[in-house]
C-alpha cells in the first residue's frame, strides 16, 4: 500500500513537471512568433562636400 501511495505522489510530481515544461515551451514559442516592434528611423541630411583648397603660392 505504501508503495502505491509513493508512486501516486511521484506521478503527480512528474505530471506537474511535464505541464510546467509544456507551458514554458508554449510561452517561448509564442514569444518567438510575436511580431517585432517597428523600428523608428531618422533621416539625416548629408552635409555639403567642401572643395579642398588649392595651392596659390607661398604667401597669398
Q: pLDDT tens digits for 15-56?
A: 888 889 999 999 999 888 887 778 888 888 888 788 777 777
Cell of 59: 604667401
| Residue 16 confidence (pLDDT) | 85
Q: What are phi and psi of 22, to 5 degrees?
A: -65, -40
| Residue 2 confidence (pLDDT) | 57
Domain housing 26: 1-33
Under the banding of pLDDT at 50, 70 and 90, the label for residue 5 is low
| Residue 1 confidence (pLDDT) | 52
| Spatial distance between the Cα atoms of 22 and 25, rounded to a whole number of angstroms | 5
Q: Is residue 42 part of a domain?
A: no
Q: Is residue 10 part of a domain?
A: yes
pLDDT at 7 over 70: no
Q: Is residue 18 part of a domain?
A: yes
What is the number of structural domains in the chain?
A: 1
Three-state DSSP state, 49 = coil
Q: Is residue 21 part of a domain?
A: yes
Q: Is residue 38 part of a domain?
A: no
Amino acid at each position: 500500500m505504501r508503495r502505491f501511495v509513493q508512486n501516486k505522489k511521484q506521478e503527480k510530481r512528474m505530471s506537474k513537471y511535464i505541464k510546467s515544461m509544456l507551458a514554458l515551451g508554449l510561452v517561448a514559442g509564442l514569444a518567438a512568433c510575436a511580431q517585432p516592434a517597428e523600428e523608428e528611423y531618422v533621416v539625416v541630411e548629408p552635409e555639403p562636400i567642401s572643395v579642398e583648397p588649392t595651392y596659390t603660392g607661398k604667401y597669398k
